[in-house]
């Protein structure tokens, strides 16, 4: 069986700028889309990326796409960039993640993994065991993390550099830059019982490492923030109804084992970070059992308690919030009903201030994309 270094990490999938093929541009034919991510530039341009193509996830026709808005989310561009899976190379491209680094550059991360043809033995079993999807087997859980960078994301015609391999693992949340300047990427390892991550002190060379022991989870999707005492708190998705917590007291060099918090988690990704004002913000489903009630939490005591809580969407099948900040506003994206016949397949967007959350001001949710 091919390894991550032989295929998925050997070279990036194709990067298609301003695609014209309807399979990437025609929203009406999409049968699956979800897992959005957002980045706000210094000039106020909003970039949003998500994962689409095929009839479900995973699928060999999945692709990542990137759009932008120059009017704070009132309207959105056609796809600026598409990163498709490759049938020829048998490489799956998935789960775009956006991040604006402190120097103002836009980093577009995505994951690649290997797939196999669904060949059967004479007894009807598959030659390559794993999850079968429309003639392909998905059984590579090592993953390869790739990144392409735009130095001037506010330019009239943004230009991206060459794609580079970052590390093995699955990055599904924004990196953290600590007060020392260290970058922590939580590109996790599905096959390990310990939380995986990588760190860099120069922003170029990353060292892969493992932290504390996990609580049960199919997908770690860890995210973290630095507390006022310098420790780093990591929160992770679990399958036990509540988020896990792991702490580092040495700038991310070592971590405590994961323990269960009192933060509801319906086995899905959450978002947590510090806002520009200094509060801690968390966004996730206010339920331990169902992906409902997309809720914004604010904390004035470093996340010890969540003194303010505001549900912005009561509906079911809501997931994968991502947030960025610009000029006093909070920009949030998430998805609803990713796939299935008669499902919404919506990428949703809203913006608000911390005061809106605290005072109960009006928060309207808009649709970025829907078939």
* Distance in angstroms (rounded) separating the CA atoms of residues 50 and 152: 21
What confidence tens digit (pLDDT) does each residue in 313-355 have? 999 999 999 999 999 999 999 999 999 999 999 999 999 999 9
- Among residues 97, 107, 188, 184, the alpha carbon closest in space to that of 143 is found at 188
Answer yes or no: is pLDDT of 274 > 90: yes
Summarize the confidence of residues 173-195 as an average pLDDT.
Answer: 97
Q: How far is CA 253 from each of CA 167, 173, 232, 273, rounded to the nearest angstrom? A: 17, 19, 10, 20
Coil, strand, or helix at residue 150? strand
- Among residues 233, 230, 326, the alpha carbon closest in space to that of 272 is found at 233
Question: Is pTM beyond 0.75 here?
Answer: yes
Written as six digits, the tokens of 121 are 């033995």
* Distance in angstroms (rounded) separating the CA atoms of residues 81 and 16: 6
Is residue 231 very low, low, confident or very high in pLDDT (cuts 50, 70, 90)? Answer: very high
Residues facing residue 177 across a β-bridge: 183
What confidence tens digit (pLDDT) does each residue in 102-128 have? 999 999 999 999 999 999 999 999 999
What sign does the dihedral 277-103-152-20 (CA atoms) show?
negative
Coil, strand, or helix at residue 29? helix
The per-residue pLDDT of the chain, averaged, comes to: 96
Answer yes or no: is pLDDT of 237 > 80: yes
* Distance in angstroms (rounded) separating the CA atoms of residues 53 and 62: 4
Question: For a pLDDT cut of 70, what percent of the chain falls above it?
Answer: 98
Q: What are phi and psi of 225, to 5 degrees?
A: -145, 155
Q: Please give, one letter per residue, the 3-state secondary structure of 183-217.
A: EEECEECCCCCEEEEEEECCCCCCEEEEEEECCCC
Answer yes or no: is pLDDT of 4 > 50: no
Summarize the confidence of residues 169-181 as an average pLDDT.
Answer: 97
* Distance in angstroms (rounded) separating the CA atoms of residues 224 and 214: 15
| CB contact set of 165 (below 8 Å; sequence gap of 6+) | 9, 12, 144, 145, 146
What is the distance between the terminal CA atoms of the chain, rounded to a whole angstrom? Answer: 37
- What is the DSSP annotation of 256-319? PPPEEEEEE--SS--EEEE-TTS-EEEEEES-SSSS--EEEEEESSTTS---EEEEEE--SSEE
């Amino acid at each position: 069986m091919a390894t991550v270094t032989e295929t998925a990490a050997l070279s990036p999938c194709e990067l298609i700028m301003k695609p014209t093929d309807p399979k990437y541009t025609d929203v009406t034919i999409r049968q699956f889309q979800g897992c959005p991510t957002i980045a706000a530039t210094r000039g106020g341009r909003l970039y949003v990326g998500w994962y689409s193509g095929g009839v479900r996830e995973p699928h060999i026709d999945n692709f990542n796409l990137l759009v932008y808005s120059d009017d704070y989310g009132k309207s959105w561009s056609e796809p600026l960039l598409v990163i498709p899976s490759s049938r020829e190379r048998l490489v799956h491209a998935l789960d775009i993640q956006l991040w604006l680094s402190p120097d103002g550059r836009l980093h577009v991360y995505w994951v690649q993994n290997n797939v196999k043809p669904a060949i059967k033995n004479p007894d009807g079993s598959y030659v390559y065991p794993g999850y079968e999807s429309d003639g392909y087997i998905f059984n590579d859980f090592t993953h390869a993390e790739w990144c392409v960078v735009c130095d001037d994301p506010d330019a009239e015609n943004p230009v991206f550099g060459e794609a580079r391999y970052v590390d093995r693992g699955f990055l599904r949340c924004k990196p953290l830059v600590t007060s020392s300047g260290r970058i922590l990427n939580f590109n996790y390892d599905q096959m390990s019982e310990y939380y995986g991550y990588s760190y860099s002190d120069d922003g170029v060379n990353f060292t892969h490492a493992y932290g504390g022991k996990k609580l049960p989870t199919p997908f770690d999707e860890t995210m973290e923030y630095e507390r006022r005492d310098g420790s780093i708190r990591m929160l992770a998705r679990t399958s036990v109804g509540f988020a896990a917590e792991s702490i580092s007291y040495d700038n991310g060099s070592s971590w405590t084992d994961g323990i269960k918090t009192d933060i509801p988690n319906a086995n899905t990704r959450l978002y947590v970070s510090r806002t520009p004002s200094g509060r801690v913000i968390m966004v996730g489903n206010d339920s331990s059992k169902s992906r409902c009630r997309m809720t914004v939490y604010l904390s004035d005591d470093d996340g010890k308690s969540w003194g303010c809580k505001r549900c912005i969407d009561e509906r079911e099948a809501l997931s994968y919030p991502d947030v960025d900040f610009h000029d006093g506003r909070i920009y949030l994206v998430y998805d609803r009903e990713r796939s299935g016949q008669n499902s919404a397949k919506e990428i949703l967007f809203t913006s608000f201030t911390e005061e809106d959350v605290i005072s109960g001001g009006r928060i309207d949710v808009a649709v970025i994309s829907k078939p």
